[in-house]
Structure 1
Amino acid sequence: MKLKYIIFGMAITGASMFAACNSVIDIEPEFVLDGSQRFNNLDDYEFALIGTYAQFRSTAYYGNASGPAGGFSTMPDMMSDNLTETGESLANFRQLVNFDYAADNTAIEGLWTAAYRIIAQANITLRGIDEFASENPGQYNRVKGQALAIRAYVHFDLLRYFGDDLSVNSTSLGVPYKTEFNQDNIARPTVAESWQNIFADLAEAKTLLSDTDRAINSSGNFTLRANIDEITVDAIMARAYLYSGQYQQAADAATDVIDQVPLVSRTSFAAIWRDENVGSTEVIWSLPFNSGEGTPATNVYFPSGNRSSFRPSEEVIGQFDQQNDIRYNAYFRTIGNRTVVSKFLGKGSLNDGIVNWKVIRVSEMYLIRAEAYTNIPGNELNALTDLNTLRASRIEGYVPAVLAGEALVDAIELERRKELFVEGHRFFDIKRTTRNLVRSDCGTNFTTCTLAPDNRAWAWPIPIGEIIANDLISESDQNPGYN
């Protein structure tokens, strides 16, 4: 994939901000940054970093639009057993949700391109920055650390879709790991090599972000944490360690986060989803969406038009204690004779679908640690404690469960499904645990109701455009089943 130009930070908000940038970066009429330009000081790199974050709002990543979108926000739930396509759907996702895709699928290519565009912008931010390390060491650490973490995180996201076997020592093919801007030809490394690169970037980012010139996010305030800091890196590491099967490391990283970030009270939980400032809302990383910047979840439910393209499956609704579980009223709403996903309605009292995307929350860390503990001999009681702690924070009058063995594993998996409902996890959770995907209420618009663990669809095909443009990736490097 050849990226000569990079879309530059539409989230650099306001005309005054753009005016301030004119001496730093020549903003073209199309708001495109020519990658051949070089920066002159750390403030230039700071502006480039802002542009890197902005691209997470693209419609193929966390954003949504009229066509296939939300690749890492809503799509993993659309493709799972959590949601059922309705008659109100515009059929934009039909190929993806029915696993009827090939290497020429435009939505898959769009996600691939959007991800590598973020990576390219991160690499622009990193290019030559070491020359300015002495200018302001704290600022250098802060900017470089965030750019490295973003690069690692996006490669990890790509690996989730395009990697087959995700275990840490897997010899199956991973995704090209791009460490330089405009690096056109790069072969697919193994999944093991992809993990090595991801964890190397995260380790360096963590070291850098431990010594910065100022706080990256408001200290102690877990309401709006729009940037990656040291805590966020720990959370990303915990997620990546779990996926790669490194369970002790996953538990340790999750503990580092849990020790610093509290679970919110039951009375304040609903405010998380309305982006209301309640002091501490257990959000570790939240990507802001404001008017004119798109929406993260309207392709599931479009509140302004009251159109529900995907509804929650009857099975998943039935898993909630509707009377006592605070998540039920926060996640669902009954409109007429239908139940819709309401956790992304809008900010405050608004119902426009414009709400910040919660990338990582501390509750996920409890679930990661609990699952990791079930894979570490002698830690079942610790796993049960984490499960009961999370449930008690969500369910009024909860009586701690006593579980062990497979029953405990299944309970943690179910709690993960409920807690992280439509937060971009379910398809990947079924994939990495090699379970069968079974849509119990398949509906009229789904033509595929089950997906076995050995189905080719768990690993997306490398886009044909990449194979054509990249001299080091050939048809023989395609994922199994797509040649």
Structure 2
Amino acid sequence: MKRYPLYILLASTLGLTSCDQALNQTPSSSLNSEESVTTLSDLTKAVRGVYAQLNTRYGYSGETALYADGHGGDIKIVAHSYNHSTSIHRFITEKTSSFSDGAYAAFSIVSGRVNDILQYTDRVKQVTPEGQKAAVANQVAQLYALRGLAHLELARIFSYLPTTGVNLDTPHSGIPLNNAVRPVGYAYQRSTLSETYEQITSDLTKSLEGLSKEKTLNSGTINYWAAEALLARAYLYLGEWQNAYKYASDVIESSPYKLYTVENYAKVWGQQGASESLFEIVTTEKDNAGLNSLGGYTNPEPYPEFGAADDFVKWVQESRVGDIRAELITKRASEDGENEAYYTTKYLGQDGASNPTAMNNFKVIRLSELYLIASEALLKGATASNGKTAVDYYNELRKNRFSNYTPATEVTLDNILDERRIELFCEGHRFFDLVRNKRDLTTPYVANGKIEYLDWRTVTELPEREKNINKVLVVRAAK
């Protein structure tokens, strides 16, 4: 009999496709895993079930994907009456909030499923013919990458960011590490931030040993280049500039992915697996987050709670002349003329989608982010063996965003943050970019309109339900 932390007792059954389904399934502790994962085919199906948890409302198909935008000040609530995600905007994601519950469940379930499957992968390797061993290794490597990604997402949301000046070795500063099947009665506790990021980088690094370098269908699974990209992001958050540059530059120089161009930038958002997409969450007519989805929140209906803030729109209109990215922020209203505001056009639905509101693939990581990571890492102290500079990567991205671009001769951190602000709008970055660079937050949704970057409200508390299950659990992250 095994015990899983958090929501995993309720939701670690393999192969589920939605959070609502998951919470009504038999716990994985009563699965006969020895019968469930015995062949490469079984393993592939099991891994597919882990990905399925990311395609949920509190995975990457709804609020969690937009959490950093809601916190970052460039978003406004257009219709206040629905109140689906407004706790994010108002910085009230405390232990009793639905966001705390949902986000923690979603990514904890991912790790729990990984742990369950990993127990039986050695047996699969033993019975697999030689010609299929690379395929098995690839599936196993994806499991490590998914666990690393799940811990990184939980760390970003439920702990302070390492570069904010907090002590990385303070007890309870990290998240509970869900890295193995534990016995019944095991009392999970927060790790330190150092231990948290060591787990993240260790899992992602280990995944590189078996991942394929081939571009996957629709970019719907993690390959070698996506794992390297996630490592670059993790090291950027950790403040290890050389490692951040190492992995970012390798993806840029060696992978088959290419930047979107000025000509195709506005058209790619309805396409699956476009040239920049290293890893995206594939939605289908049957498997999606419904109305509580990216399309549901970033359009005039049904729940327009992520429109573009007035100050952001003004900044775009005044400072991004000739920038193709500005064309993706348009003024729209519902069919009856309600909820008029500026919205992103990144989530208008997949090309040919039967349900355009729900069928939007979140790009977990794109190549453009790697150019900006490389630029920032070099600016902050990394060195390039190929002679590239921070301004080189900055210019390379911008020349694919502006017609008749005149290259810059120097670049500052503010320049890079501005590029991230427009390039990654409504892709889950703005709040994290400000806070990890020790920038305070401006928002009309809190008293006085300002929150300091180390304010306790910038970190979501662990769910109260987990405290009720585990009395020793520290709910609020230390720093």
Q: Does TM, normalized by the shorter one, top 0.5?
A: yes
Give 1:238's aligned amino acid.
A
Structure 1 counterpart of 2:265: 269
Q: Is the 8 A contact 1:85 1:446 kept in 2?
A: no
Residue of structure 1 equivalent to 2:297: 300
| Residue 60 in structure 1 maps to residue 63 in structure 2 | no
Which residue in the other structure is 2:68 paired with?
76
Given residue 15 of structure 2, which amino acid in structure 1 is its aligned partner? G
- CA drift of 1:230 comes to 0.5
Give 2:262's aligned amino acid.
R
Using the alignment, how far apart are the partners of 2:135 and 2:180 within structure 1? 21
Partner of 1:129: 121
> Does structure 1 retain, via aligned residues, the 8 Å contact 2:295–2:360?
no
* 1:393 alignment partner AA: N
Q: Which segment drifts farther, 164-173 or 342-351? A: 164-173
Distance 1:419 1:78, change over 3 A: same
Tell me whether 1:389 sits opposite 2:389 in the alignment: no
Which is worse superposed, 135-144 or 447-456? Answer: 447-456
- On the 8 A contact 1:89/1:310 being kept in 2, the answer is no
Residue 368 of structure 1 aligns with an amino acid whose one-letter code is I
AA of the residue aligned to 2:282: P
**Corresponding residue SS for 1:421:** coil
The 5-angstrom pairing of residues 47-196 of structure 1 reads 47-64=45-62, 70-71=63-64, 73-134=65-126, 135=128, 136-167=132-163, 170-172=168-170, 173-181=173-181, 184-196=186-198
State which of 208, 211, 219 in structure 2 corresponds to 1:209: 211
Displacement after TM superposition at 1:459 (Å): 1.9
Q: For residues 427 and 285 of structure 1, what CA distance do their matches in structure 2 show?
A: 21
CA contact (8 A) 1:11 1:50 kept: no
**Shift of the alpha carbon at 1:137?**
2.0
CA 1:246–1:51 in 2, change beyond 3 Å: closer, same or farther? same
What is the deviation of 1:88? 4.8
Deviation at 1:258, TM superposition (A): 0.6
Q: Report the AA paired with residue 268 of structure 2.
A: I
Deviating beyond 4 angstroms after TM superposition, the runs of 4 or more aligned structure 1 residues are: 27-33, 377-381, 445-448
1:451 is matched with 451
Q: Give the aligned CA root-mean-square deviation in angstroms.
A: 2.8
What CA deviation, in whole Å up to 9, does each residue of 1:43-85 have, x standing for no partner? 2221110100001012112123xxxxx21x1121112211011
Q: SS of the residue aligned with 1:79?
A: helix
Structure 1 residue 102: Cα displacement? 2.8
Q: Tell me if the contact between 1:4 and 1:182 (Cα under 8 Å) persists in the aligned partners.
A: no
- Kept after mapping to 2: 8 A contact 1:170/1:192: yes
Is the aligned partner of 1:229 residue 2:223?
A: yes
- 2:28 corresponds to 1:9: no
**Shift in alpha-carbon separation, 1:400–1:101, aligned structure 2, 3 A:** same
Deviation at 1:90, TM superposition (A): 1.2
- C-alpha displacement of 1:399: 1.3
Instruction: Pick closer, same or farther for the CA change 1:171–1:298 going to 2, 3 Å.
Output: same
| Structure 2 residue identity aligned to 1:9 | G
Match of 2:3 in 1: none
Cα shift at 1:94: 3.1
Cα 1:144–1:169 change in 2 (3 A) is farther
Question: What is residue 37 of structure 1 aligned with on the other side?
Answer: 32
Asked if 1 retains the 8 angstrom alpha-carbon contact of 2:272 and 2:361, the reply is no
Task: Report whether the alignment pairs 1:340 with 2:339.
Answer: no
SS in 1 for 2:72: coil
C-alpha spacing 1:450/1:28, structure 2 compared with 1 (3 Å):
closer
Matched-pair contact (CA < 8 Å) for 2:93–2:99: no
Could you give the per-residue CA deviations for residues 285-309 of structure 1, whole angstroms, max 9, x where no partner exists?
0111111323441343245x46532
Post-superposition offset of 1:140: 2.1
| SS of alignment partner, residue 403 of structure 1 | coil
Query: Take 2:23 and 2:75, find their aligned partners in 1: how far apart are those partners?
Result: 41
Q: 2:235 & 2:14 partners in 1: Cα distance?
A: 32
Q: Which whole-Å CA distance do the structure 2 matches of 1:352 and 1:288 have between them?
A: 14
Other-structure match for 1:412 = 416
Structure 1 residue corresponding to 2:410, chosen from 391, 400, 403 = 403
Of 363, 368, 376 in structure 2, the residue corresponding to residue 371 of structure 1 is 376
- Give 1:234 deviation, angstroms: 0.5
Contact persistence 1:42–1:132 (CA under 8 A): yes
8 Å contact from structure 1 (residues 89, 308) kept in 2: no
SS in 1 for 2:258: coil
Q: For the residues of structure 2 that align with 1:323 and 1:349, how far apart are their CA atoms?
A: 31
For 1:120, the aligned partner's letter is G
Task: Specify which structure has the higher proportion of helix.
Answer: 2
Counterpart of 1:17? none
Cα distance, 1:450 vs structure 2:
1.1
Aligned equivalent of 1:22? none
How many angstroms apart in 1 are the aligned matches of 2:228 and 2:306? 33
Determine the C-alpha separation between the residues in 2 that align with 1:369 and 1:189. Answer: 29
Residue 133 of structure 1 aligns to a residue whose secondary structure is helix
Contact in 1 for aligned 2:189/2:473 (Cα 8 Å): no
Query: Are the equivalent residues in 2 in contact too, given 1:174–1:194 (CA < 8 A)?
Result: yes
Task: Tell me, in whole angstroms, the C-alpha distance in 1 between the residues paired with 2:201 and 2:247.
Answer: 12
The structural deviation recorded for 1:360 is 0.7
CA distance in 2, matches of 1:290, 1:362: 24
Instruction: Give the Cα separation in 2 of the matches to 1:216 and 1:338.
Output: 38
Structure 1 residue 255 corresponds to structure 2 residue 258:
no
Take 1:29 and 1:461, find their aligned partners in 2: how far apart are those partners?
21
Query: Quick one: structure 1 residues 29 and 378, their matched pair in 2 at CA, closer, same or farther if it must change by over 3 Å?
Result: closer
Secondary structure of 1:359's partner? strand
- Under a length normalisation based on structure 1, what TM-score does the superposition of the two structures give? 0.83
Q: How many equivalent residue pairs?
A: 441
The answer on whether the counterparts of 2:285 and 2:359 sit within 8 Å (CA) in structure 1 is yes
Contact conserved, 2:80 with 2:305, CA < 8 A, in 1?
Answer: yes
Moved more, 42-51 or 160-169: 160-169
Change (3 A) 1:30 1:464: closer
**Residues 302 and 8 (structure 1), Cα distance of their counterparts in 2 relative to 1, 3 Å cut:** farther
SS in 2 for 1:273: helix
Contact preservation (8 Å) 1:170, 1:191 = yes
Q: Is the 8 A contact 1:333 1:342 kept in 2?
A: no
CA distance, structure 1, for counterparts of residue 296 and residue 449 of structure 2: 21
